[in-house]
């Protein structure tokens, strides 16, 4: 006996929307202190590729790769490190060659060489096929079409170190403005990511004010909130709001710097897999990947820096066993989520 086939069920199966997918790889602070610039000097100029070569596959394989660019490039001023950063143009070339797509410039060092420096920095980022985001009249938001998924990205900072900037020039943390900005790009976006340059530097714990701010941004409509500025990596949280789980990374820490304090040499990469089927877009898989800034003496006798995944530290003889223990311990910590007790310390658990 042959069973009859229901034509409507066949049509329904044929019309099932395909699942679209986009990957995002986000990292924290990229800084260039003067020792790093000196080390990168060549006969032709500067080459910063060595610092990124062991991490390049992670970056270039993502559909969107984002970093916080915590320096400026103003060729009319002398090169400088902390407290007013000014780097050679080759830093932007090295970052672009690594595969980054967006440079967040909403941070406390974006005005280090004035409006002229901020404008030149943004122009150079664009020249190197990346998008500047967060400082400048035209750099307030971006929406990228990735495999049919519209990914909206915003960025804000709590400080510009007391330096001057024209009104509205830098995307400052203002909750009313953030809410308006999210509303403005919501109709054009399937998924919204917000970078927040906030928190107390070198504090590995999440402050009450920071937690409330990041959660408030999630409540406003952000689908993922990513932190930078503390220069140390922090735990993350899956925050339930608007009927969904929003990933909040309270600080991704340093990606590249010359800072020497404990914990400043370990950062995290946040990898997101965004899926869309029909009208439904959600955060699918995600992972927190710890990184280590390896400092070593190269064959030319110069000190060099290289970013590596902490999972690969056993491949490097430069790293002592004591240092490896430290790296493994911190890596385990930053891959964890806030505990119930930690959440209760700054807000009542829902």
Nearest to 266 by CA among 308, 322, 210: 308
Domain count, the chain: 1
Q: Evaluate whether 94 touches 346 at the Cβ level (below 8 Å).
A: no
pLDDT of residue 348: 60
As a whole number, mean pLDDT of residues 1-22 equals 66
Assess if residue 196 is contained within a domain.
yes
Assess if residue 338 is contained within a domain.
yes
Assess if residue 181 is contained within a domain.
yes
Is the pLDDT at 1 greater than 50? The verdict is no
Assess if residue 32 is contained within a domain.
yes
Distance CA 247, CA 148 (A): 22
Q: pLDDT tens, 70-119?
A: 999 999 999 999 999 999 999 999 999 999 999 999 999 999 999 999 99
Q: Which of 2-11, 44-53, 285-294, 297-306 has the lowest mean pLDDT?
A: 2-11
Assess if residue 75 is contained within a domain.
yes
Looking at every residue in the chain, the average pLDDT score rounds to 94
User: Residues near 133 by Cβ (< 8 Å), separated by ≥ 6?
Assistant: 102, 103, 104, 105, 106, 139, 140, 141, 142, 153, 154, 155, 195
Q: pLDDT tens, 145-194?
A: 999 999 999 999 999 999 999 999 999 999 999 999 999 999 999 999 99
Assess if residue 2 is contained within a domain.
no
For residue 199, give the CATH number of its domain.
3.60.21.10
Range of the domain at 297: 18-344
Is the pLDDT at 12 greater than 90? The verdict is no
281 or 300, which is more confident: 281
Confidence class for position 303, pLDDT limits 50, 70, 90:
confident
Q: Give the angle 201-305-249 at the CA atoms, nearest 5°.
A: 35
Q: Evaluate whether 287 touches 236 at the Cβ level (below 8 Å).
A: no
Q: pLDDT tens, 248-278?
A: 999 999 999 999 999 999 999 999 999 999 9
Beta-strand relationship, 131-133 and 102-104: parallel
Confidence class for position 7, pLDDT limits 50, 70, 90:
low
Assess if residue 180 is contained within a domain.
yes
Mapped onto helix, strand or coil, the DSSP state of residue 117 is helix
347 or 318, which is more confident: 318
Assess if residue 73 is contained within a domain.
yes
Confidence class for position 2, pLDDT limits 50, 70, 90:
very low
Is the pLDDT at 13 greater than 80? The verdict is no
Neighbours of 62 (CB within 10 A): 22
């Amino acid at each position: 006996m042959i069973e009859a086939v229901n034509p409507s069920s066949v049509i329904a199966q044929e019309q099932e929307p395909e699942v679209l997918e986009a990957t995002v790889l986000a990292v924290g602070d990229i800084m260039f202190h003067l020792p790093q610039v000196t080390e990168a000097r060549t006969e032709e100029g500067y080459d910063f590729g060595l610092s990124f070569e062991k991490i390049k596959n992670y970056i270039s394989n993502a559909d969107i790769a984002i970093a916080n660019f915590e320096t400026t490039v103003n060729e009319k001023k002398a090169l400088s490190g902390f407290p007013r950063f000014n780097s050679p143009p080759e830093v932007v070339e090295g970052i672009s060659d690594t595969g980054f797509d967006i440079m967040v410039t909403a941070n406390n060092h974006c005005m280090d060489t004035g409006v002229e420096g901020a404008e030149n920095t943004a122009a150079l980022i664009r020249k190197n096929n990346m998008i500047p985001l967060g400082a400048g009249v035209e750099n307030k938001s971006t929406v990228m079409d990735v495999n049919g998924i519209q990914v909206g990205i915003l960025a804000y900072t709590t400080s510009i170190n007391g330096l001057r900037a024209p009104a509205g020039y830098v995307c400052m943390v203002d909750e009313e403005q953030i809410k308006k900005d999210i509303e403005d790009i919501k109709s054009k976006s399937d998924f919204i990511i917000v970078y927040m340059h906030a928190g107390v530097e070198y504090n590995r714990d999440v402050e009450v004010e920071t937690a409330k701010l990041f959660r408030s941004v999630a409540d406003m409509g952000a689908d993922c909130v990513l932190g930078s500025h503390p220069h140390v990596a922090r735990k993350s949280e899956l925050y339930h709001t608007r009927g969904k789980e929003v990933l909040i990374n309270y600080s991704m820490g340093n990606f590249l710097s010359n800072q020497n304090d404990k914990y400043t040499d370990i950062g995290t990469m946040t990898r997101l897999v965004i899926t869309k089927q029909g009208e439904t877009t959600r955060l699918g898989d995600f992972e927190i990947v710890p990184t280590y800034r390896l400092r070593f003496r190269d064959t030319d006798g110069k000190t060099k820096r290289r970013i590596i995944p902490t999972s690969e530290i056993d491949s490097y003889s430069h790293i002592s066993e004591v240092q490896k223990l430290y790296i493994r311990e911190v890596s385990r910590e930053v891959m964890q989520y806030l505990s119930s007790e930690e959440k209760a310390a700054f807000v009542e658990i829902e």
